[in-house]
Amino acid sequence: MVRSLRLGAIAVLAVSNRGCLLNPYSSDSTTRTHELLNQSEDLRQIQGEWERFWFLDQPSHMTPERTHGGVAP
């Protein structure tokens, strides 16, 4: 009895969770094209935001040569 209730609950959850089956884009081709272009532009710009957040867009201050820092004779 308990096993059939568990299987029934799992089946109800599987049927009721249909959010991933719906198409998020419009059926009109012109509107859908604009939606997809806007989404791809957002994804393209995230690379620059990520580099600015981690300061990867700054020039490197590491030098291949060691500097003494003192006054040279």
pLDDT (tens digit per residue) in 47-62: 888 888 887 776 666 6
- Write the CB contacts of 45 (distance below 8 Å, at least 6 apart in sequence): none
Task: Output the pLDDT for position 5.
Answer: 83
Tokens of 68: 């003494």
Task: Output the pLDDT for position 70.
Answer: 66
Task: Output the pLDDT for position 22.
Answer: 72
Task: Output the pLDDT for position 16.
Answer: 63
Q: What is the mean pLDDT of the segment spanning 10-31? A: 74
pLDDT-derived band at 19, boundaries 50, 70, 90 = low
